[in-house]
Amino acid sequence: MKRWIMIVCPLILMFILSGFGFSSFKVAVPDLLKVKKPTSVLFPKGKATIIEIKFMPPFAGTDFTGFKEALAFKESKGDYFAVNTFGYLGKYQFGTSTLELMGVYSDQQFLGNPVLQEKVFQINIARNKWILRRDIKRFVGKRIRGIEITESGMLAAAHLAGAGNVKRYLRSFGKKDVMDDYGTHITCYINEFSGYDISSVEAVKNPKI
């Protein structure tokens, strides 16, 4: 009798399970647990970076948005609250003198206001584009020391070292290649940020917030 039960029970169990088939089970997720929009994440403020790890910037396209996000990643890893060892501020690492040209006179107000930082970046690019307007027409498409000159590369270099230094670089055909306080040359930014379409940015003389 026991032997009969030991044989029949596994057969019954197999018959019951076969009714479900071998397809994967589908479980209905309650509406309360469904993610319906992106989750906001706050970047840690005031965190000291001990080890620098090089990451590729997030790809955001090749238009102005892609350009500014790639440049911000290079400058501060995209951190609105970053202050470097030389006192440059925010996501795009602006100096106090440049902020004053834009009409911003409070470092703390600037550092705590991401919307303001984005506006300052936008008008600073417009200002540099106006300063470099003749050089953009003259040099875009040409090569200096093997590197193709593009509008986006020129404006990224102007963000790094100032539009005046970019002019001197171009007009000396690369002989006057200045660098920032960390040793990054104009050539690096012209090369690294080439090929973005920033035609949507209009050149503006002396823009202000």
Per-residue confidence (pLDDT) for residue 122, from 0 to 100: 96
Q: pLDDT tens across 14-25, in order?
A: 555 455 444 443
92 within 8 A of 114, measured Cβ to Cβ: no
Q: Tell the residue number behind the tokens 């020129």, with chain if given.
A: 154
Fold designation for 64-192:
Lysozyme (1.10.530)
CA-CA distance, 198 to 196, in Å (whole number)? 6
| Structure tokens given for 148 | 């193709």
Per-residue confidence (pLDDT) for residue 49, from 0 to 100: 38
Q: What is the chain's alpha carbon radius of gyration, rounded to the nearest angstrom?
A: 28
Instruction: Please compute the mean of the pLDDT values over residues 162-170 and round it to a whole number.
Output: 97
Instruction: Please compute the mean of the pLDDT values over residues 94-119 and round it to a whole number.
Output: 95
Phi and psi at residue 185, in whole multiples of 5°? -85, 155
Q: Evaluate if residue 47 carries a pLDDT over 70.
A: no
Q: Evaluate if residue 86 carries a pLDDT over 70.
A: yes
Nearest to 128 by CA among 158, 167, 104: 158
Domain boundaries in the chain? 64-192
Give the pLDDT band (50/70/90) at residue 181: confident
**Which is it for the CA torsion 170, 172, 177, 178, positive or negative?**
negative
Instruction: Please compute the mean of the pLDDT values over residues 146-166 and round it to a whole number.
Output: 97
CA-CA distance, 137 to 101, in Å (whole number)? 25
Q: Evaluate if residue 170 carries a pLDDT over 90.
A: yes
Give the pLDDT band (50/70/90) at residue 107: very high
Per-residue confidence (pLDDT) for residue 23, from 0 to 100: 42
Q: Is 205 helix (H, G, I), strand (E, B) or coil?
A: coil
What is the full DSSP assignment across 61-113? -SSHHHHHHHHHHHHHTT-TT-B-TT--BTTTTB-HHHHHHHT---HHHHHT-
| Structure tokens given for 170 | 């171009």
Q: pLDDT tens across 54-66, in order?
A: 445 556 688 999 9
CA-CA distance, 77 to 201, in Å (whole number)? 23
Average pLDDT, the chain: 81
Residue 120 CA: distances (Å) to CA of 40, 99, 177:
24, 8, 26
Q: Is 208 helix (H, G, I), strand (E, B) or coil?
A: coil
Per-residue confidence (pLDDT) for residue 16, from 0 to 100: 52
